[in-house]
Structure formats: C-alpha cells, structure tokens
Structure 1
Amino acid sequence: MSVSNKRLIISVGLGILLNPLNSSMVSVAIARLQDVYRLDFTGISWIISSFYIASAIAQPIMGRASDLFGRRKIFITGLVVAFIASLLAPLSPNFGWLIAFRIVQSFGTSMMVAVGMAIVRIYITEKQATALSVLSIFLSGAAALGPFIGGVLIHWWDWHAIFLINIPFVLASFLLAWRTIPKDESPTSVTRNMSFRKWLDWIDASGILLFTVGLVSLLVGLMSAESTGHVSLRYVIVGLVGLVTLGAFVRHELKAGAPFLPLRSFAKYPAMTWVNVQFMLVNALFYSLFFGLPSYLQMVRQVSEFHTGLLMLSLGLCSLAASPLAGRWIDHSGPRPALLLSGMLMTLGSIWIVTWNQTSPVISVCVTLALFGISNGLNSVGMQAALFQISPKEIIGVASGLFNTSRYLGTILSSLLIGIVMRGTFSFEGFRYLGIILTVFALSLVFMNRRSVRQDHGRSGRSSILKRPE
C-alpha cells in the first residue's frame, strides 16, 4: 500500500473514531455531570439519548447529502462542526446548552462516519479489504477504550476534558484530510439543478421530522413520568403525541418514494427484520450494562473515575480480543453458533449481577465485564454476518442502513430502560432489578438463536437457514 493511501486511511480513521469515542467516554462522566448540574439520573441520561438520536438521524441524511455536495466537503465540514462543538461544550452555562452542543457534536462526527468508509472504497483500490479493516479497528478501538480514556481525563482534569480531547484528533485529521482526500467530482446535472424543496423531498425531511418528534415525545413522556414518581396528564399527553406521531411516521414511510427508513423492506424480507430485531435487543442489553455499570461503581460503590475507567477497560479488551476469533469461527461454522454462545455469556453475566451485594469483590465486576466483552465481540461479527447472509444483494446498502438504525434504537432503548428502572435516583436495588431485566433479554436471545440452530441442523449439513435470497 502506498504512503499516500496510508495517510488517507489515517486521516479518515482519526475522524470517524470521534463518534464512538464520544459516545463511550460519557459513560464514566454521568455521575460527575449529575453532581455538577444537580439533576436526577433520568434527567442526566439525556446526555446519552440525545447523542444517539442525533446520530440515527444525521448519518443517513449525510450519506445522501454527500451525493449532492461531495464526500470530501461533508467530511471536512464534519471536522469543523465537531471542532466547534468540542470547544464550546465545556463552556456550557447550563445542562440545556450542554445537550445542544452534544447534539451538534453528534451531527459533526456522524458526517464523517457517513462518508468515511465510502471515501476509502472509492479512492483506495489496492488492498481495499485491509484498508476497511483498519477503519473498523479505529471504530471498535475507540468504543472499547472510551470509558478508560474518559476515566483518566476526568480523574486528572474534569468532565470538560472529554470534549477538549477531541481537538487534537480533529486538527490532525483536518490537516491530513485537506491534503490527502481528492477533490470531489462535479455533481451530476440532476443533483446540480436540484432545488432546495426537491432536496428536502430527496432526504425525506417530512419522515425525519415525524421520526424525531415522535421518538423524543415518547421518551419525554415515559422518562419524565418515572422521574417524578407519578403519572400526570401532561406526561400522558406528551407520550400519546409521540405514539401517534410515530404511527404517522410509519404510514408516511410506507408510502414515500425515497423514505428515510425503508420500512417496506421489513415487510418484504421477514428474515432480515428478525435479525434487526435481535440486533436492537442485543444493543439494548449491552449498552444498559455499558452505561449502568460505571454509574453503579461510582454512585453505589464510590469508586473513582480513574478506577472505574480501568475496570471498564476489561470489557473493551475482551471485546477486541474476541472479534478476530469470532471471525474465524463464523467463517467455518456460520453465525448462529457464535450468537448462541454470546447469548449464553450475556445470560450468565446478567445472572451474576443479580447475585451481587454492596460489598461484592472487584473480581466479580471484572468477570461480568469479561463475559459481556466476549459476547460483544461475538455479536459485532456474528450479527453482521447474519445480516449479509439473509439480505438480497440488490438491497445490501439499504440493509446496512437499517442495521445501523437498529443499533441506535437499541442504545436509545437502553437509556430509556435505565432511566425508568432507576426512577430518578441510581441505587443498588435499581441496578439489581436492571440485572433481572437483562437476564430476561439475554434468555430471549438464547431462545431465538437456539431455535435457529435447530432449524439449521434440520436442513442439509452444508445449508443454512440464513441463505441469501437471490
């Protein structure tokens, strides 16, 4: 691989890592931010939900916008937006402003993720698989090491550092991207002459608005009711508005010519739908632990941010170590056995949480993190392989987009779940109850994959239930 291609990969990698890094570092900062802004746990959990809602909306929009404005422009603009948000977030006068800058940061980092892979695919023709695998390492490594990095930064400085740490990454990526990413080709006559109104139709602005209003309203209704401890008419109305709006969103997407979320694919390909449902459940389970455990350590066990980050490192390292081993196993045996084992490990880890008390040894925490880390490594490869096997070739791009949406919906669900269970105050009893719910989720995944494995064995030895439709 040439030196210029290596520089291109590094420039893109330094940009795309900002999204998973910022989504994971905050897991260790929740307790500190709750203390600074004097909010209950349900309120502070919006620092998680807002980032993932914005990412779920921004990435498909920016993927389409890159066809009109150019991938290089979108990538570099994303760096500028991320730089501004990271610089201003530490200056937030209140929590509302912090959420606003967090959303802006999510949009900026999502712009880079949306086009980063495409830039490498287009401009690197030799050893393309190697190049894409390097980008995957940037993404998975940032997500795995985020809690540790966040813990170190907060311990030695303060929560402001988890935003300021982005600046050197942004500057390095900008300098390299400006010199290494080729200039965009001129847009086609179709996109060049597109009016603003047509562009809004092209990105399905109506669908995006309905999705955003519906999801946020439903979350506000559910989380606010739980944080106050009673159900008021105002919160019931807000929640109902969310449900009705989401219903209107589904109806709109089924009729739209270029839908924001191609829901018709779910009806046409039920096997693909089932994989996405499982993936959403997997992410809801994993991120409930990912965001819940640091709060348990800091608020219940009074563990420092530094040691919390150090403990969370075991989850990330186990996940990184399990991924390549999972790849070899799945190449040989298919995805279902690996997914079945993953469900068993998550079940064991969730049951282990239920057995904890307030003085359980640290080794118990490490065992749980290792179990979930290994299961995450198996899932990250296995779910993707399952999706590719059952998705028709002609809609693989659509399938990948829906797959990422399922990931974000799972993470949003995890934030909602933690907020509802804790009822405004993070407690040991609430965390144990969360462990019971996670056990039910994990057992459901075991049942789903065990049934699929049995069906696979019922066919010929070499065939699979997950054959790709022609």
Structure 2
Amino acid sequence: MPSPVAATRPADRFDRRLLAPMMLGAALNPVNTAIIAVALAPIGIALGAPASETVWLVSGLYLATAIGQPLTGRLVDVFGVRPIFLTGGSLVALAGLIGLLAPGTHDGIWWLVAARVILGLGTCAGYPSAMHLIRSEAQRTGMASPAGVLTALSVTTQTVAVIGPTLGGLLVETWGWRATFAVNVPLGVTSVALGALFFPRPARPTASSGDRPRIDWPGIAAFAASMICLLIFVQNASFSLLWLLAAGLVAGGVLIWWELRHDEPFIDLRVLAGNGPLLLTFIRAFLTAVISYLFIYGFTQWLEDGRGLNAAHAGLILLPVFASGIVFAVAVGRRPEVWWKLMAGSSAQLVVGVLVLFMTGSSPIWFLVVAMVVLGLPQGLNNLAIQNTLYFQADPARVASSAGLLRTFAYLGAIAASVIYGSVYGERATTHDVHVLGWVIVGISVVFLVITVADRSLREIGRTAPNDVIVVEEEAAR
C-alpha cells in the first residue's frame, strides 16, 4: 500500500523530498572512509595496538565495501530501495554503538575492526539506492537526463571527502577517538527515519505471480571469496601468501562458470561482455581512483618527507584539489554531455603528471598549489562524467548493482594506489620517488585518454532529446 508521502509526489518533476535521505545515504561511505585517518594513532595508543593491527580498521572497511557494494546494489534492484536502505542505516547505527562500547583493552581493537566491517556493509546501501531512485524518478517524470540531481550527488560525496579528516580531527580533539564511531549512531538513525518517511514502498509480488525474486547466493559467495583472497594478497603481497592468490583465482573461475549458467546471476557477465562501453566506464573509474589516491596518500607523504612540510601544511596544499573539483563540477554539472568532460579531465591528469616530474624539495608553494588546482579539474569532471555515463549505459533493471560495481572498481583503484606508492617509497618518500609516481600518473593518464578517445558511444550521451533516451540506452547495451 503506497504511503501518503508517495501519493503526493509531483507527477512532472523530481520529488525533492527524496534528496535529503539520498544525499545522507550516499555520504555515509566517504565520510567513514576519511574520518578514521586521524583516529588510527590515538586508537593504537589507547588500546596498545601496533600499526599492523590498526591498519585493519582501514582494510576491513575497504574489503567490506568492495564486496558489499555490488551485493547491496543487486538487493536494491530485486527488493527495492526502502528495505535495503533502512537495513543499511540500521547497520551503520549498530556499528557506531559497537565502537562506542568496545572494551578499552587490547582485545577492543578487534571489536573496532568488526564495527568497521559492519559499517562498510551498512554504508554500501546509500549510493546504489540513490542511483536506483534517480533512474526510477526519471522514468516516472519523463526526464531523459536528471543532470542536476546527478551533479548534486557527485558534489555531496566530494564535499564529504574534503571535510572527513577535518571532522575526524575535531571529534578526536573534543571527545576522543570513540566519537569517530559514535557519530554513526545519529547518522544511521537519521537515515533510517528519513528513508522510512520519504522512500516509497516497493510492490510486493504475489506467491502465484511467478515474480518472487531469487537471489544468486552461490554467485555472491564465489564473488566474496574471490575478492577477499585477492585483496588480502594484493595488500600483503609475499611469497608465503601465494596460496591466497591461487584461491582467489579459483574462486573467480568458479564465479564465471556459475554466472554464465545461472538464469538470474548476481553479476550478469553475459550482459557485461556485450556492453563494452560500460566495461570501459568501470575501467575509467578504476584509473581515476588510482590517480586520486596516489595524490591523497602518496603525494601527501612526499610533501612531508621530500618537501619538508608539516602535516597541517601538507593537508592545506591538497585543499585546492577538492575545492576546485567542486567548483568545476557545479559549473558544468547541468550539462548532460560527458565526452568533453572526460577529455578535459584526462588531459588535466596528464598535465598534472608532467608537473609532478618538475617538483623538487625546493619547489615554491605557489607551484604546488597551481598543480593541485589543475588536479581539481579531473577530480570534479571525471567523477561526475563517469557517474552520468553509468546512468545511461547500465541496464535499467540493474542500475543499482551496476552502481555498486562502479564503487567496487573505485575501491580497487584505492587499493592499487596503496600498493604502488608502498612499493615505490622506501623508509622516506624522496623526490626521486615522487618522480616515479609522476611517470606512473602520466602512464595511467595516457591509458585513460586513449580509451576515452576510442569510445565513440560517449559522444552521444547527453545529446539526445528526451524521447530518444531509450534508443541511447539500447545502443549502449549493444
């Protein structure tokens, strides 16, 4: 039975009452990704946990999110936004409580790791739910390209990524490290309340209709096993862990074998194999994330070790990246075209990689700031264009699971970036080391540029009239 709120939804425009829960849900993952950075050292000191254990507070969320994003996305596509979103918000609140009440002894570190895993799974519901709602609202109202709403979603996640470390620092300084967990209690409860109030109830299939959904649990299990083994191996690569690599590859092979034979697969590999443009979009998301995280972590480390800045000044150097990225995204966000945005973003990435090659331990601050402003161009345009591209290229019936896979590729990019700068840097990040990163960035940017130029389908996205949107979707699917 539809809720009174759903019954009063405007027939010809996007229901703006959906925006608050959508934006809050989508923000929960990036804020918790960033907020923990400043709490790792205080947690280690308080619980007597070494860095080899506190790192699992980061890795645990990464693993849970990389696996959980496509899983929750598929559940959203099958069961609708409301039940999955409310479950996700409840898990976020539960994780906050576990972190708040965890023992203050050394064993407490594993309570916190468990909380972060639960938090990762809970925050996975936000972004796929938002993309599903945007698609359903566009179909209901006849909007061919809800560019303004997609821009708002992109800017929200970017803004939260900026304020996350600052918010974490304020919470730790004011109430201690437990506050970085406790903040999720009101956030989770608020998202549940807003979702329950404004999200429409999904239609319930009858037992005799034959429409009762089926979940591909073996496919999910094979995907999770493959991801866990491969990600742990990549983050801790050593000869003694080669068995994890082998196990991950075997699980991946089982996943492919099963999904190609299942009527309702978790990941429809047959559709993905026939949708080359969507696969390229996933690759672009991966490459963009690699470059972003190389700067957020690897370049920042060089600013402190090689350039001699303190942590506060190094953080300030990065602020223009996010500030200019938001400005660029807002300035062009209502334009639905994506090809020229990706071309501009990929070109800017290449320019920044070249600028890094000219940086030294005595580079003036203004030069570093200019480079970061240029980096803001791909930070804003690439993320926005990739999100818009996914909206048009994904199968409408699987838009949430496709959005989840997009986030998985982004997290794989973050993990790849940590492996790259961890392999390049020695005990300290030298100028020679950052030049090696510069060449890596140049190489990635060239690959990004080449696959963007070669993808002719990008030129049509956002250029069609409202009545032609179905044609574009069908062409992308082919």
User: Which TM-score band applies after superposition, normalised by the shorter structure?
Assistant: 0.7 to 0.9
The separation in 1 between residues aligned to 2:79 and 2:454, in whole angstroms, is: 47
Structure 1 residues 469 and 120: CA distance shift in structure 2, 3 A: closer
- For each residue in 1:168-221, what CA deviation from the matched residue of structure 2 results, as whole angstroms up to 9, or x when unmatched? 433433444444445565454379997xxxx7xx33222222222223222333
Q: Counterpart in 2 of 1:149? A: 167
Q: What corresponds to 2:220 in structure 1?
A: 208
Q: Which residue of 1 aligns with 2:462?
A: none
Q: Name the residue aligned to 2:411.
A: 408
* 1:33-52 map, 5 Å: 37-39=49-51, 46-52=56-62
Kept after mapping to 2: 8 A contact 1:223/1:420: no
1-side partners of 2:276 and 2:136: how far apart? 32
Question: Relative to structure 2, which stretch is displaced further, 257-266 or 381-390?
Answer: 381-390
* Residue identity in the other structure for 2:291: L
Q: How far does residue 244 in structure 1 lie from its aligned partner after superposition?
A: 2.6
Paired residue for 2:377, among 374, 378, 396?
374
Residue 338 of structure 2 is matched in structure 1 by 335
Return 5+ residue gaps in structure 2 as ranges.
Answer: 460-471
> Could you tell me which residue of structure 2 aligns to residue 349 of structure 1?
352
Relative to 1, partners in 2 of residues 1:180 and 1:248: Cα closer, same or farther, differing over 3 Å? closer
Partners in 1 of 2:260 and 2:217 — Cα distance? 15
SS in 1 for 2:439: helix
- Distance in 2, matches of 1:53 and 1:111, equals 15
Cα 1:246–1:181 change in 2 (3 A) is closer
1:14 maps to what in 2? 24
1:427 aligned residue (418, 426, 429): 429
Query: Does the C-alpha gap of structure 1 residues 160 and 433 become closer, same or farther in structure 2, counting only changes over 3 Å?
Result: farther
Structure 1 residues 397 and 169, CA, compared in 2 at 3 Å: closer, same or farther?
closer
- Cα distance per residue 1:256-306 (max 9 Å; x no partner): 322222222232233332332233222222222223344445666675665
Report the more deviating stretch, 432-441 or 315-324. Answer: 432-441
Residue 60 in 1 paired to residue 70 in 2? yes
Please state how far the C-alpha of 1:370 moved relative to its aligned partner. 1.9
What is the CA–CA distance in structure 1 between the aligned matches of 2:294 and 2:315, rounded to whole Å?
A: 16
Structure 1 residues 68 and 388, CA gap change in structure 2 (3 angstroms): closer
Instruction: Give distance in 1, aligned partners of 2:88 and 2:132.
Output: 15
Q: 2:190 corresponds to which residue?
A: 172
Change (3 A) 1:398 1:346: same
User: How far 1:322 moved relative to its partner?
Assistant: 0.9
Q: Which residue of 2 aligns with 1:383?
A: 386
Higher helix share: 1
- Superposition deviation, residue 418 in structure 1: 3.5
- The C-alpha deviation readout for 1:342-392, integer Å capped at 9, x for no partner, is 122112222333433345444344333322221121112333444556667
Which ranges of structure 1 fall in alignment gaps of 5 or more residues?
Answer: 226-230, 457-464
SS at match of 2:121: helix
Name the residue aligned to 1:99.
113
Instruction: Give the Cα separation in 2 of the matches to 1:401 and 1:337.
Output: 25
Deviations 1:37-68 (A, max 9, x none): 4326xx76554443233223323333443567
1:416-458 CA-to-partner distances (Å, cap 9, x unmatched) read: 33444447x56336544333322221122233334558x98xx
Where does residue 228 of structure 1 map in the other structure?
Answer: none
In the alignment, the residues of structure 1 paired with residue 369 and residue 63 of structure 2 have an alpha-carbon distance, to the nearest angstrom, of 30
- Comparing 57-66 with 296-305, greater Cα deviation is found at 296-305
- In the alignment, is the contact (CA less than 8 A) between 1:69 and 1:187 conserved in 2? no
How many residue pairs match? The answer is 445
SS of the residue 2:447 aligns to: helix
Distance 1:79 1:220, change over 3 A: closer
Q: Verify the 8 A CA contact 1:48 1:415 in the aligned structure 2.
A: no
Query: 2:266 corresponds to which residue?
Result: 260
Which position in structure 2 is the counterpart of 1:220?
232
Q: Distance in 1 between matches of 2:165 and 2:117?
A: 20
Distance across 2 between alignment mates of 1:191 and 1:302: 68
CA distance in 2, matches of 1:275, 1:132: 16
SS at match of 1:17: helix
Cα displacement (A) at 1:239: 2.1
Please say if residues 203 and 260 of structure 1, whose CA atoms lie closer than 8 Å, have aligned partners that are also in contact: yes
TM-score by length of 2: 0.76
The alignment's C-alpha RMSD in Å is 4.2
Q: For the structure 1 residues 254 and 367, does the alpha-carbon distance in structure 2 shift closer, same or farther, using more than 3 Å as the test?
A: farther
What percentage of residue pairs aligned between the two structures are identical?
Answer: 25
**Structure 2 equivalent of residue 444 of structure 1:** 447
Q: How far apart are 1:79 and its partner, in Å?
A: 1.9
**Residue of structure 1 aligned with 2:280, choices 257, 270, 274:** 274
- Which residue of structure 2 lines up, in the alignment, with residue 290 of structure 1? 296
Q: Would you say 1:250 and 2:256 are equivalent positions? A: yes
Q: Matched residues in 2 for 1:211 and 1:299: separation?
A: 39
Q: Is the 8 A contact 1:266 1:273 kept in 2?
A: yes
| TM-score (normalizing by structure 1) | 0.77
Report the counterpart of residue 138 of structure 1 in structure 2.
156
Assess, with a 3 A threshold, how the Cα gap between structure 1 residues 186 and 243 changes in structure 2: closer, same or farther.
closer
Partner Cα distance (1:182, 1:450) in 2: 41
